[in-house]
Structure 1
């Protein structure tokens, strides 16, 4: 049965660890596997890191730049080189590809989010393999995905993929970093990500010398993808044949089971596409109404506000201990909310001097526990 498959390969798998030069044998094998999947009728998207790492090698830099301007310049050098390699290899197998460069801003706007979806849908319909990367050349900190693990999960969520493969430099998830803890235990299946906390799994956010990700970001990516109903797999990037073996049912890598009732597309956009511009602290009654009764947030339940935001921007909803319980699109600006917090809905029009929404965040624009 044809499936939609998103494969993310990290810099640590794409490059030689000592030099940062491209690991051409690994890339060639990956290209062959993805082309085979396309020939079998599957829809395939490749999310590829490596632009900055490849740019460093091309320019003779011995370490990854830290200054944003230099990093963006190096990414511009590396992205062209990376795509040239992919295009040459895929072209040998008569497999068309397309470069898709995204920033977080492309997902923040609902209209742009939908447009990105249609672009992917059309490319896949044409039999093209989109090669996706963050647009490091123009992205600024506020609109960065932060790592391609997150980007790949958001892409998998957007296209409602069946599988997300996170190819990395270890064969699977362990209870601790096996390079530092030889007695670390392998984890083959994760039915619920919360079980990792119960198992006291120790993860690192340290990536390779040339990359940005670590196992922490991969678990965060799995959280996003599984919430969208996408089965997520962590496996070793040096052996791309594992992708086919896993699709055929072999118990390789670590598999994260998808949620049985994934969030709707609009809810996923609110949960993971939007960037919170502020926080609302709620009283106990409001937390109960939202978290347990599925109700909207009213002004009476808002105790405090932090940050500056406009109406229709995203905010985090927090309990009195500061824990984020939800994320939603707010109907008031922060300036308006300061005037009406703690007040009954019937008082709002009088206080503001004009007719206004009854709810601060309507339940249709609210997603619970987006990071739980």
Structure 2
């Protein structure tokens, strides 16, 4: 018995409509995709489509001429065109799938729908229910009220990122990003005929260093190859294998999915979806596939290899993010920043690596907070950054280390004699500044700027706050037992929780 998979297929505007006016729908491609989806359904698989094209359909309906080179349409005009085109787009999908007796459903999402936890869960429940009913949901960003895709806010490039978030929402096994090339190439194959195609990617950072992703989107779309790498990064973190292949040949989807070897027994409900995806490596690395070049994180395809349809496969992470952590990292927009010391940083990252079994499990105590930036309420997302003191790492490491190798995450008791000595020294410095004609506020500001320039700041995580920005600023550096004395109530021991590590760029 074939183990049922959940397959998300993202179609860009260039795959749905002809890029040049009058932007006729590409009926042959859409019909082939519909037949592929119905065939997948007949095999027991679940299918979700993320479809762009609302603005393009509006342009087609209004028969508007192309703009002069360098000119762009106003945001209001694009939103109006989306309102005109969205109904026609879903009607076209319904007509094509209706001929095959396959029911579909329309889901329009905005960034706010994803950022709000209850609405996110409601959308996830709706998706799950539709799939259980045998319906194919068709998702698009609601461009009529949202400008995130139009303005490239939060990198929603032609729904690439939205498709990755949708894959995370429904626990997909595959995300297919349909584009106008066979896969990811080391250079633009239209300009460089001998450019090699990437067959398999295990390390997205390594492939970024090896290939050129400077290709622009079409005249209708807003995405390019870089947005597809971002989408692949999000989806693989959620345990979803991601495939880039030719949008005009949707039958390749069926061939790739059929190559997935069925397990002898269905996995348990608690098992990860990535366990069932292990055989996919056997498909893309058959003995006939002799790679021109091989690196630990990237494999290039051989020009003579025709064992499988041309595509680029991004392998899923072996330890995918949980649904909640995926939402925190990719569904929320941070409202502020909390800066922590290195002791807190080590404790948080150790807790993340150990899955909550060591350190403080992705939670931040007030004692580790250095300062707060931005205005945010309790329950909102924040960036968590570590402040690294330059030139003091070795000395601090020796003083903070223990014999068992652990690093204390709580604040040490203050040395009152040292405080008195430092107070006398500070008074002497203030008198010297006054003699030089400098105000104390100006001197403090200059000292703060100089100190910040000497420090290195790295964002390493994002989490949810238990207190607002003012309250965290008031209790920074204090023990948890002092929180109620300072702000008048006690909500939680930790000021930030559910901290998830973000990808490091250096």
Scaled to the shorter chain, the TM-score interval is over 0.9
Q: What residue in structure 2 maps to residue 319 of structure 1?
A: 386
Q: Is the aligned partner of 1:256 residue 2:309? A: no
Q: What residue in structure 2 maps to residue 184 of structure 1?
A: 195
Q: What residue in structure 2 maps to residue 302 of structure 1?
A: 369
- In the superposition, relative to structure 1, how do residues 65 and 127 fare at CA in structure 2: closer, same or farther (>3 Å)? farther
Counterparts of 1:228-267 in structure 2 under 5 Å? 228-249=238-259, 250=308, 252-267=310-325
- In the superposition, relative to structure 1, how do residues 371 and 152 fare at CA in structure 2: closer, same or farther (>3 Å)? farther
CA distance in 2 between partners of 1:310 and 1:149 (Å):
30
Q: What is the CA-CA distance between 1:137 and the residue it aligns to?
A: 0.9
Farther off after superposition, 98-107 or 159-168? 98-107
Structure 1 stretches lacking a partner, 5+ long: none
Q: Which has the larger radius of gyration?
A: 2
CA distance in 2 between partners of 1:7 and 1:358 (Å):
43
* Cα pair 1:11 1:49 within 8 Å, conserved: yes
Structure 2 stretches lacking a partner, 5+ long: 260-307, 353-359, 388-455
Q: Residue 45 of structure 1 aligns to a residue in which SS? A: strand
Could you state the TM-score of these two structures normalised by the residue count of structure 1?
Answer: 0.93
Counterparts of 1:17-56 in structure 2 under 5 Å? 17-19=19-21, 20-56=23-59
Q: Is the aligned partner of 1:367 residue 2:500? A: yes
Q: Residue 213 of structure 1 aligns to a residue in which SS? A: coil
Q: What residue in structure 1 maps to residue 105 of structure 2?
A: 98
Q: What residue in structure 1 maps to residue 134 of structure 2?
A: 127
Farther off after superposition, 215-224 or 102-111? 102-111
- In the superposition, relative to structure 1, how do residues 235 and 143 fare at CA in structure 2: closer, same or farther (>3 Å)? closer
Q: What residue in structure 2 maps to residue 284 of structure 1?
A: 342
CA distance in 1 between partners of 2:327 and 2:166 (Å):
11
Q: What is the CA-CA distance between 1:117 and the residue it aligns to?
A: 1.4
Could you state the TM-score of these two structures normalised by the residue count of structure 2?
Answer: 0.69
- 1:60 maps to which of 52, 63, 71: 63
* Cα pair 2:29 2:249 within 8 Å, conserved: yes
Deviations 1:122-158 (CA, angstroms, capped at 9, x unpaired): 1111111111101111124479945411111111111
CA distance in 2 between partners of 1:306 and 1:140 (Å):
26
- In the superposition, relative to structure 1, how do residues 301 and 225 fare at CA in structure 2: closer, same or farther (>3 Å)? same
* Number of residue equivalences: 369
- In the superposition, relative to structure 1, how do residues 89 and 65 fare at CA in structure 2: closer, same or farther (>3 Å)? farther
CA distance in 2 between partners of 1:205 and 1:366 (Å):
34
Deviations 1:188-207 (CA, angstroms, capped at 9, x unpaired): 1001223214x432212731
- In the superposition, relative to structure 1, how do residues 314 and 210 fare at CA in structure 2: closer, same or farther (>3 Å)? same
Q: C-alpha root-mean-square deviation of aligned residues, in Å?
A: 2.0
